[in-house]
Amino acid sequence: MTPEAFTQTLEQIRYELAKVIVGQEEVISHLLICLVARGHALIEGVPGLGKTLMIKSISQVLDLQFSRIQFTPDLMPADITGTLVLQEDLGRRQFSFQQGPIFAHLVLADEVNRATPKTQSALLEAMQEGTVTVARQTYSLPQPFYVFATENPIEMEGTYPLPEAQLDRFLLKILIDYPNDRQMIEVLSRTTSTYFAEFQRIADAQTLLDMNHLAREVPVAQAVYEYATEIVEASRPQQNKSWETVRRFVRYGSSPRGAQALITCAKIRALAQGRFHASREDIKQVALPTLRHRLLLNYEAQVEGITADQIIGKIIERLGV
């Protein structure tokens, strides 16, 4: 795949998604980054903002096996991964593995924070290794494998915060906000009429793998690596040189996965914009969705209403260009 094809593919995907998704360009860009990076995305927003529709549309545009799991408090891990069932074949009864909904290219874990942490943790191996182990038997998931989870703000009732280990496995955490007036009017116009969008398949799983391979070849200067490292280190209150704001409000900073995510996303963003190298500006632009779910704030930050985005913004501002 050439860089031009890469850029063109992404533009076509955007175009197709725009048929059903009004606005939310940044959210779509970040989702596409996840797709190219073979990463998982956590999408947070109040109900009714089109999260599920957006992910379902992506699967259609990219011709990916799509599976949706509605997380509920009584959902069990086996409901996700699959389970062994007793089958009778030619008079012999034996256990066979019945794949769960996780066996798909793109899994929509809808309202993932409504399930218990035990069930949420069922996704850990799948997200990190791309495999599922049931009864000592490991099953590979189709590649590329994506988990796009949606969640409601944790302040809402009946939600369970995701475990830190699972949060760290999401490449990006994408926040969806309300559409503006113009976009709202467009949404109303489309959804309350006979408007029907028919998607054109732009790419497939192999295309995404090729795009991922190309993105990994994007050259990165040493200074950009250093910049990403500085940001991640600055988010850790345990560091000797950490700043007062970080020490005061952050319980745990970003893991090395955060730095990896920064570089990966910066590379894809650069390619998506027609450039052949990642820059500091790319790092800065992807820092918020990449790191916001990796910074665990303490109680004081919650009391004072400090968000991870504010901390990251301060870090970037302090580091300068």
Partner 1 sequence: MNEEAIVSFCQNVARQARKQAVLLNSGTGLMISALSLVLLFWINKIFQLALPWPIYLLSIVPVTALMAWWPQRIPKPTYAIATADRHLGLNERLVTANEVLSRGQPSNILEQRLVTDTAQAIRELSPQWALPAPSIRLPAILLSATLVLFLVLPYLPSIPPARNAMLPQIESLLRQFEQLESPQTQTIRWKLLQAKRLVEQSRQMEAGQALEEAQVLTRQGLTADEQAQRMLGQTTSLEFLAQGLDGNQEPLQQLSSLTPAEQTRLATMLQNEMTKLPDGAIKTGLERLGKALRQEPGQVFSETKSLSEVIPLERALVRDLGQAVADWRSGENMTANAEAAAAAAPADAEVQPGSGLGTQGGVNRGRGEQQEGRGEYSQTPANGQETLASGFIYVPRDFRMSETSQPLVLPRTGEDQMQLTSEGETISEGSFTDFRDVLPAYERKASDQMVRQAFPAQLEDLVARYFQSLEQTP
Alpha carbon distance 295, 92 (integer Å): 53
Q: Does 220 bind partner 1 (CB under 8 A)?
A: yes
Q: Which among 53-61, 218-226, 245-253, 305-313 is the span making contact with partner 1, rule CB under 8 A?
A: 218-226
Q: Which of 104, 171, 224, 312 binds partner 1 (CB under 8 A)?
A: 224
Q: Does 125 bind partner 1 (CB under 8 A)?
A: no
User: Site map for partner 1, 148-167, x if CB under 8 A?
Assistant: --------------------
- Tokens encoding 255: 């893991």
Q: Which among 110-118, 166-174, 216-224, 242-250 is the span making contact with partner 1, rule CB under 8 A?
A: 216-224
Alpha carbon distance 49, 2 (integer Å): 35
Side chain identity at 121, as an amino acid letter? Answer: S
Token look-up 């927003």 returns: 45
User: Site map for partner 1, 263-292, x if CB under 8 A?
Assistant: --------x---xxxxxxx-----------
Q: Does 221 bind partner 1 (CB under 8 A)?
A: yes
Q: Which residues contact 82 (CB under 8 A, 6 or more apart)?
A: 97, 98, 99, 100, 102, 103, 132, 134, 139
CA dihedral 107, 113, 119, 123 (to 10 degrees): 40
Q: Which of 58, 132, 218, 232 binds partner 1 (CB under 8 A)?
A: 218
Q: Which among 12-20, 118-126, 220-228, 241-249 is the span making contact with partner 1, rule CB under 8 A?
A: 220-228
Token look-up 């398949």 returns: 201
Q: Could you say which DSSP state residue 144 is in? A: S
- For partner 1, the binding residues (CB under 8 A) are 2-3, 214, 217-224, 271, 275-281, 321
